Amino acid sequence: MQPFDVETIRREFPILSRQVYGKPLVYLDSGATAQKPQCVIDKVASLYRETNANIHRGVHLLSEKATEQFEAARAEIADFIGAAEKEEVVFTAGATASLNTVAYAWGERFVQTGDNLLVSEMEHHSNLVPWQLLAERKGAELRMLPIDDTGRLRTELLPSLLDGRTRVVAVTQASNTLGTRPDLRAVIDAAHAAGAIAVVDGCQGVVHGGVDVRTLDCDFYAFSGHKLYGPTGIGVLYGKRALLEAMPPFLGGGDMVDRVTFARTTFAPVPLKFEAGTADFVGAIGLGEAVRFVRQFDAAQIEAHERALLQRAEERLAAIDGLRIYGTTADKCAIVSFNVEGVHPYDMGMILDKLGIAVRTGQHCAEPTMTHFSTTGMCRASFALYNTLAEADALAGGVERAVRMLRG
């Protein structure tokens, strides 16, 4: 295992050495997409240069080599998240595709008219809209598990929201807007006690703290590769094998079948029955490389580094007159969303951009969270293992400068 040294790590990310408007790039938008280490860039490039061939469908050398690397990436990722076997890892186009797969495939078979689905108030739209669509299709009720004004998930309300007709409880491992890491143990145990499945959006959680899906005992877990230092366009759906086997396929086509006749089609075993068409084998192998990169470092050291970044940023930002931080739970991950009284978040974001500081502005695909806090948008700085305390200071300094400019 490599010792954690942020300056050494930064040298692995080529884009971090570039300038923006003549100023050093301060990239604080990793919650939207993380930058890529050189090893991932090299792996993707080498696959196209040396091993570009469709997987599972050829006896020639290139196809066999690509297939070996594809399945090795599946095994690497399964081990990384604590899955019981690699067959519980389904490759998808991203977390959105993963969550829609569960909502359509599992939902169509197991949700009936009069059932209900429980979704937390702070979910990304990808873990809300698919359940809304399912409820509309099936005549089910969609219920909301609320948050309080600190961003804490109000798990004490679970007994009043769950009943014998609850089929799904969907919750994030870490809010992409507030940074909140809810008490998933309480949520999952309550879901199972009611006879429901627990579906976890792990997009931020898998990066900030990681996961052991067997210890967590979630039924499904979804995340995207591009937030975990991997390529875009690739994601993972973990599902307990018994549940995956009970679900019908979501998409039909090549590679997900066993036998096809005009009379009937039988399907490949899991996970292949959920991987219709030509797989993004380059993305999957690239994600496997990203996981290997992250696993070089002690997870506790990464967590401590990100905790220090968050603490520095929040201390500096909180001292700015009129600035409000959204999401103040003690165990939040390295995400800080904020607004300044009288300053539109887009104006703040544009000024920070001219200073070389990349943040995200808007609703962050979490409009119900915006509604809870009576705002139309927020500025969000999201940190990663390659950020520095100097960059946290640069953020605060940039916000101070923007406030002076905008307030005159």
Is there a cis peptide before residue 271, judged by omega within 30 degrees of 0? Answer: yes
The CA distance from 330 to 344, in Å, is 27
Question: Tokens 């969270």 identify what position?
Answer: 369
Pairing of strands 116-120, 89-92: unpaired
Catalytic residue among 39, 218, 333, 365: 365
Give 272-329 as a DSSP string: GGG--SS--HHHHHHHHHHHHHHTTB-HHHHHHHHHHHHHHHHHHHHTSTTEEEE---
DSSP assigned state of 167: E
Cβ(147)–Cβ(153) below 8 Å: yes
* Distance separating alpha carbons of residues 185 and 192, to the nearest angstrom: 11
Report which DSSP code applies to 102: I
Is 365 considered catalytic here?
yes
Show the tokens assigned to 195: 């006879």
Q: Which residues of 244-272 are buried (b: 16+ CB within 10 A; e: fewer)?
A: beebebbeeeebbbeeeeeeeeebbebbb
| Residue 300, token pair as written in the block | 């506790």
The answer for residues whose C-beta is within 8 angstroms of residue 21's C-beta and 6 or more apart is 353, 354, 355, 356
Catalytic residues: 365
